[in-house]
Structure 1
Amino acid sequence: MAFALKGVAYVTGAGSGIGQFAAYSLAKQGVRQFALLDRNPSTATITELKKRYPDVSIKEIELDVSNEGAINDSVEQTVKEFGRIDYALNNAGIGGALETTDKIELSDFQRILTVNTTGVWLCQRAQIRQMLKQEKRSDSERSYRGSIVNTASMYGFIGPSLNVPSTAYTTSKHAVIGLTRADAIAFAPKGIKINALCPGYVATPLVMSSMSAGSVMDNERIKVPAQRVANMDEIGDCVAFLHSEASSYMIGAALVADGGFTIQ
């Protein structure tokens, strides 16, 4: 299904994984102006985008999402370069140690929440402030001043498996869904669409490197009704859908793409 996306995309965590493939999916649907943000270089993403879509324009920005000033500056840089932000994906995040509450240190718990929750809030705040200044791209009732998607997780709905004691990560992703819903209510009347994406296990390089037979991740894969982990482009396509007019009546939704894991 073609979504015919037009405008400017701002993607955090764009150097690899979901952010990388979300950029590919957005470009496939028509986006040609990108701000790609990551703590590490987004070289692979940029190279592939330019190979597939030679007319694409890209601004690469180094960004630590725990840095409030850097976030505000990155939004300003994007607007200076492209004039506006139409599609924001707040995807940068970390997994952290697989520890239960009795074993995790306060500093580790706070670090995960700082990146996964506060970082999303800081990015979303800067994006909302910009989107409130810009008009809708068309007069259609399906059009918005801007669309924001926050990467949460299926662990934003459920507790972790006994053999995956990701207490801090799970806490942070529950919070992302709450943040998404609260701001979606506040800003939908003002023309800003905000939703969350909740992936299950995805075939990122890190996951696949730990998928040996009998490993923790292999045992988790077996629990998935679809009997596999998601391909990264499948999750990228979900991002494009949430930004498109096909999802224009979805406000504060938490779209689960987990192969059926959470419905068991």
Structure 2
Amino acid sequence: MTKLLSGTAFITGAASGIGYHTALSFAKYGMENLALADIDRDTLAQAAKSVREKYPGVQVLELEMDVRRTDQVKAGLDALVARFGRLDVAVNNAAIRGPTSATDQTDEGAWADVIETNLSGVWRGQKEALRVMLGQEDRGSREGRGRIINTASMFGLFAPPKGLSHTPYTAAKHGVVGLTKADAVIYGKQGIRINAICPGWTATPLLQQVIDDPNQPMLNQEIERGAMPRAGHVDEIADAIVFLASPMSSFMQGASIVVDGGFTLT
């Protein structure tokens, strides 16, 4: 297998779904050290065990972390540096689905929880990753001081279809795209690349439950509407993140890479 990656990666929301499969893809393509962060300690331990079993040469650091807590995010990055010495790639992926009710029926606390997790949590991860990367050696145009990939969504670029109310989620993911662009301008000259990945319908465990629910026909109808009428596999999203983390994307900055099977084309 071609070695596209090397060094140390930090991934939030790493216990399942896109985060877990990103860890597997990073290990597959050569990353030697993985710091896996998640709020769910037990599921995180299972994910870390799975990575170690599949790739016994990879060093795995487990970080129980709530991205809504500044102290926990900072402590996690400090633990990473203490263990591995350098941070090469940060993937700010932790997110929740949040309420699917219309705005006039949505509780303010539920709104705030989505923003705190899906937007401010990404900001905290990015801030602490930048703190570490700015103190590191710049390894030239291909690697720089480090790379940051933020998980946004196709709903960070446009609104959900009528009948699928995801306003807090959509607002937060639009914010992630804006955060990515704004900081890409500021930190590009300092050798830090920042890009966003915008997945479409992806068969994470959570979405698969909805896809399989006969009482939720609208989602399947929307998936069928795409140019490729299926949900994406989590490893397909993870492999796109590998591309953004690798030297192959070294002249990309502030980009929002859509991986949606052509849904946005329709």
The TM-score range, normalised by the shorter chain, is over 0.9
Asked if the contact 1:33–1:82 (Cα under 8 Å) also holds between the matched residues in 2, the reply is: yes
Q: Distance in 2 between matches of 1:2 and 1:263?
A: 32
After superposition, residues 4-23 of structure 1 pair within 5 angstroms as 4-23=4-23
Q: Distance in 1 between matches of 2:129 and 2:34?
A: 14
Does residue 192 (structure 1) correspond to residue 192 (structure 2)? The answer is yes
Who is 1:110 aligned against? 112
Unaligned runs of 5+ in 2: none
Does residue 61 (structure 1) correspond to residue 63 (structure 2)? The answer is yes
- Measured against aligned partners, the alpha-carbon deviations of 1:188-235 in whole angstroms (never above 9, x if no partner) come to 000100000000011111111221356232122112220100001000
Q: Distance in 1 between matches of 2:69 and 2:46?
A: 24
AA of the residue aligned to 2:64: E
- Measured against aligned partners, the alpha-carbon deviations of 1:3-47 in whole angstroms (never above 9, x if no partner) come to 521100000000000000000111111002011000013133212
Tell me how far 1:56 sits from its aligned partner.
1.0
Q: Distance in 1 between matches of 2:228 and 2:219?
A: 15
Asked if the contact 1:9–1:87 (Cα under 8 Å) also holds between the matched residues in 2, the reply is: yes
Q: Distance in 1 between matches of 2:259 and 2:46?
A: 25
Who is 2:224 aligned against? 222
Unaligned runs of 5+ in 1: none
AA of the residue aligned to 1:50: R
Asked if the contact 1:3–1:245 (Cα under 8 Å) also holds between the matched residues in 2, the reply is: no
TM-score by length of 1: 0.96
Asked if the contact 1:3–1:246 (Cα under 8 Å) also holds between the matched residues in 2, the reply is: no
After superposition, residues 166-205 of structure 1 pair within 5 angstroms as 166-205=166-205
Q: Distance in 2 between matches of 1:162 and 1:252?
A: 29
Q: Distance in 2 between matches of 1:32 and 1:192?
A: 20
- Measured against aligned partners, the alpha-carbon deviations of 1:118-161 in whole angstroms (never above 9, x if no partner) come to 1100110010011000013x4x4212100000000000011011
| Greater displacement, 125-134 / 45-54 | 45-54
3-state SS, counterpart of residue 30 of structure 2: coil
Q: 1:163 to 1:2 in 2, by over 3 A?
A: farther
AA of the residue aligned to 1:129: R
AA of the residue aligned to 1:217: L
Who is 2:148 aligned against? 148
- Measured against aligned partners, the alpha-carbon deviations of 1:229-258 in whole angstroms (never above 9, x if no partner) come to 000100000111000010000000000000
Residues matched between the structures, number: 262
Q: Distance in 2 between matches of 1:64 and 1:219?
A: 35
Q: Distance in 1 between matches of 2:184 and 2:135?
A: 17
Tell me how far 1:52 sits from its aligned partner.
1.8
Q: RMSD of the alignment, in Å?
A: 1.3
Q: Distance in 2 between matches of 1:115 and 1:254?
A: 20
Write out the 4+ residue segments of structure 1 that deviate beyond 6 Å after TM superposition.
none
Asked if the contact 2:141–2:191 (Cα under 8 Å) also holds between the matched residues in 1, the reply is: no
**Percent identity of equivalent pairs:** 40
Asked if the contact 2:12–2:37 (Cα under 8 Å) also holds between the matched residues in 1, the reply is: yes
Tell me how far 1:101 sits from its aligned partner.
1.5
AA of the residue aligned to 2:67: V
Who is 2:210 aligned against? 210
